[in-house]
Structure 1
Amino acid sequence: MTPLVMLIDDDLVSQFDMRIKLQRHGQPSEILSYDCPIEALSWFEEWKLSNGGLRLPDILLLDWQMPKMDGFEFLEEAFERGIPLEEMDIYMASSYSNCLEKATEEIRSKVRRRFIKPLSRANVDIIFTNQALKEQV
C-alpha cells in the first residue's frame, strides 16, 4: 500500500524541500502538508470523526521548532486527544541537535528518529526502509 505521509513544518521552503525529496525517492507516497500544527490537529479530529473514511498517516514528519506549538507540544496534544501515535512512524526534523532533550520520556519514546535539516537522501531512505519493514510484519 502507498504510504501516507503527514508533513508538518511552518517553514514553507523546508516543507517544499522535504516534499520534493520524498517524491523523488522512488517510493510512491501520498503527502499531506501543513504549515500550522494546529491545522494538522484539526485534520486528526476529522480523521476521528470519519470512522475509517480517512486513512491514518503511516509516517509523521514534523519540525521541532514552530510558532504557536512546537513539535513535542504537538505530539503531547495529539496523545491527549487520543490520536494513536503508536501506529505511525514519527520523525522529528530540526536544525538543532538537542531538540529531543526538551521532550518528556513518554513523548520522546514515540519519535523513531531525529534528523538534522535539511533532510538528506539517506534520511529519506531510512524513512521508507522502516516503512517497508513495518509492512512486512
Structure 2
Amino acid sequence: MNPLVMLIDDDLVSQFDMRIKLQRHGQSSEIISYDCPIEALKWFEDWQNAKETTRLPDILLLDWQMPKMDGFEFLEEAMARAIPLDQMDIYIASSYSNCLKEANEDVRSKVKRRFIKPLSRANVDIIFTNRSLKESV
C-alpha cells in the first residue's frame, strides 16, 4: 500500500517544494497537506470518528515555526488528544538547526529526525527508506 504522507507547513512555497520532491522520489505515495496545524488537528479529529474508513498517515512532515501553533505545540496537542503518533514516522522540517532543543522530552521522543529546509533528495530518500524498513519488519 502506498504510504499516506501528511505535510503541515504554513509556508505554501515550502509545502509545494516538499510535495514535488516527495512525488519525484519514485515511491508512490498519497499526500495530504495543511497550511494550518489547527486544521490538521481537525483532520485527526475526523479520523478518530471514522477510523474504519480513513487511514492514519504513515508519515508526518511538520514545520516547526508556524503562527498560532508551532510544530511542537501541535505534537503536544496531538498527544493530549490521544492521536497515535507512535504509528507514524514524524519528521520536523525547519530553517533552524537547533529547533529540537525547544521541545520537551516527550515531543523529542516522537520525532524521528529533523531536516533543514529546503528538503534535499537525500532527506526524501531517508524518509522513504525508513518507511520501507519499517514495513519489512
**TM-score calculated relative to the size of structure 1:** 0.99
Matching residue of 1:22: 22
- Supply the distance in 1 between the matched residues of 2:20 and 2:44 (Cα, whole angstroms): 24
- How many angstroms does 1:51 deviate by? 2.8
Name stretches of at least 5 consecutive residues in structure 2 with no aligned partner: none
Alignment partner, residue 89 of structure 1:
89
**What corresponds to 2:127 in structure 1?**
127
Instruction: Name the counterpart of 2:8.
Output: 8
Runs of 4+ in 1 over 4 A off after TM superposition: none
Distance 1:103 1:53 in 2: 33
Compute the displacement of 1:52 (Å).
1.9
2:87 maps to 1:100: no
1:17-96 paired onto structure 2 within 5 Å: 17-96=17-96
Counting matched residue pairs gives 137
Q: Name the SS of the counterpart of 2:114 in structure 1.
A: strand
**1:108-136 Cα distance to aligned partner (Å, 9 max, x none):** 01000000000000000000000000000
Give percent identity, aligned residues only: 80
Superposed CA RMSD in Å reads 0.4
Distance 1:114 1:88 in 2: 15
Q: Mean Cα displacement is larger for which, 45-54 or 18-27?
A: 45-54
Deviation of 1:53 after TM superposition, in Å, equals 1.0
Q: TM-score of the superposition, structure 2-length normalised?
A: 0.99
In structure 2, what is the equivalent of residue 114 of structure 1?
114
